[in-house]
Structure 1
Amino acid sequence: MLLLPGAEPFTHEGSAIGVLLCHGFTGSPQSLRPWAEHLAAQGLTVSLPLLPGHGTRWQDLQRTGWQDWYATVDRELRELSRRCDQVFLCGLSMGGALALRLAARRGAAVSGVALVNPAVTFPRFKGYALPLLRFLVPSAPGLISDIAKGGGRETGYERVPLHAAYSTRALFALVRSELPQVTQPLLVLRSRVDHVVPPTDTVLVVSSVSSTDVTEHVLESSYHVATLDHDAERIFQETDAFITRLATRKTARDGT
């Protein structure tokens, strides 16, 4: 199956500090590639996998579910943990939900979590209809390329397969129940204007985690896919500072 342009996974072998990036629902690694390439340029070890069913055609996503997507990022985390002293997680939208579940379940294997417009809720009205609707209608119009920057384009599906959407809804419910188990330092960057994920999702995440080290920034000039938008450079810089601060703290604590 041919991949959409830019949907290829990205990896880079670097230092003993690893970063795992998780892309969003119906999206692809293309939306996070500049972020991943920036981190690689800083000398870090980077993994940006393609989630199952993504990056090809929406019908392929119809045959997958959250368990497949989570298994992929869980496997990547285990592999990074084998090679690196510290591993940080980054996620956009649903990728943020996957990162939060990894943090909740893998504990000390995760040194910190950086999220951009994390999604942890499903639109209520659409959610009520999904259990039945998914058996009657295979897909619905999607929303990609929610980008304020002129010429910005996200590689992803313009149709949302409803079986996969139903699975996403289940993932979000599970992640919400596990948020109190997240104790790692947390960096959250939220767009003031987001046509995909409501700001209340970030409020829910920040208020529900057990992390004592939480930093939140509002992105004034970007929409949902902020990693490809006007504030992309700020996201990169804030992530650099976040990882450097925590890595330096660990080095000082270990006395190395």
Structure 2
Amino acid sequence: MIGCLLIHGFTGAPYEIEPLAEHIRNTTNWVIKTPTLPGHGKTLNLKGVSFSEWITAAEDELVELLESCERVYVVGFSMGGIIAGYLATKYPVYKLVLLSAAAYYINPKQLVTDVKEMLRDGFAKTLTENELFLRYKKKVLETPLRATIEFRKLVRFIRPQLKKINIPTLIVQGECDGIVPLKSAYYLYKEIGSVEKRICILPSAKHHVCYGEDQKKLFEEVDSFLHET
């Protein structure tokens, strides 16, 4: 039996990786887990939650999969990608997929482009239809400063561990990501210790790579990587 753990990002929920999770469910008989990290979900409750709790929650799910499956893959999105990388240094994960993994945070150039788009929609009085605006407004309003500090502490804690990753790794990055810059993918490629590693750049994808016009390409790349022997 094969198991696959998919870990969502900071201030997010399983919906962030659900299109990929659903694709894998529909095309395999694998055991799929998409846990919600502490304080996350449709309603955020991050006050007082430490980064170690996010790691522990993902770790517990991974241990369960390892106990019941002969082979386990881990997929992590954004902050979940950083956590996934850390887990791969501690447990016998077979393959690792990093989606928009947040080794660095905020892409100033793309963020300016996204803000201009929101302003244009604001003047056109269609801002309430702008998906980026709705998503980021919710996150800004519901995210305590302390939680953001915990996120940054998590990244600083895990970065030095990346060189210990020695399993096949696929790094996927959207070229139009306004949250995680392109240099994050190249940094991960340089730092990860595995001999077998590759980068896939999706030219039209924003931060949420599981959505948008490059979705088919994403699914193809992940399928090819996970199914090859």
TM-score by length of 2: 0.83
SS in 1 for 2:173: strand
Contact 1:121 1:169 survives alignment (8 Å):
no
Q: Which residue of 1 aligns with 2:192?
A: 209
Q: Please list, as runs of the form range in 1=range in 2, the aligned pairs for 1:100-249 lying within 5 A after superposition.
A: 100-106=85-91, 109-122=92-105, 157-159=138-140, 160-245=143-228, 249=229
Is 1:53 matched with 2:39? yes
Distance apart, 1:193 and its partner CA: 1.2
The one-letter amino acid paired with 1:54 is H
SS in 2 for 1:225: coil
Distance apart, 1:207 and its partner CA: 0.2
The one-letter amino acid paired with 1:47 is K
SS in 2 for 1:53: coil
Alpha-carbon distance between aligned partners in 2 of 1:152 and 1:215, rounded to the nearest angstrom: 30
Residue 151 and residue 243 in structure 1: after superposition, are their counterparts in 2 closer, same or farther (change >3 A)?
farther
Residue 88 and residue 155 in structure 1: after superposition, are their counterparts in 2 closer, same or farther (change >3 A)?
farther
Residue segments in structure 1 that go unaligned for 5+ positions in a row: 1-15, 124-142, 250-256
Q: Please list, as runs of the form range in 1=range in 2, the aligned pairs for 1:12-51 lying within 5 A after superposition.
A: 16-41=1-26, 42-51=28-37
Residue 225 and residue 122 in structure 1: after superposition, are their counterparts in 2 closer, same or farther (change >3 A)?
closer
Q: Which residue of 2 aligns with 1:97?
A: 82
Alpha-carbon distance between aligned partners in 1 of 2:166 and 2:201, rounded to the nearest angstrom: 22
Alpha-carbon distance between aligned partners in 2 of 1:121 and 1:151, rounded to the nearest angstrom: 25
Residue segments in structure 2 that go unaligned for 5+ positions in a row: 107-113, 118-128
Contact 1:22 1:92 survives alignment (8 Å):
yes
Distance apart, 1:226 and its partner CA: 1.1
Alpha-carbon distance between aligned partners in 1 of 2:18 and 2:219, rounded to the nearest angstrom: 11
RMSD (Å), alpha carbons:
2.1
**Count of residue correspondences:** 204
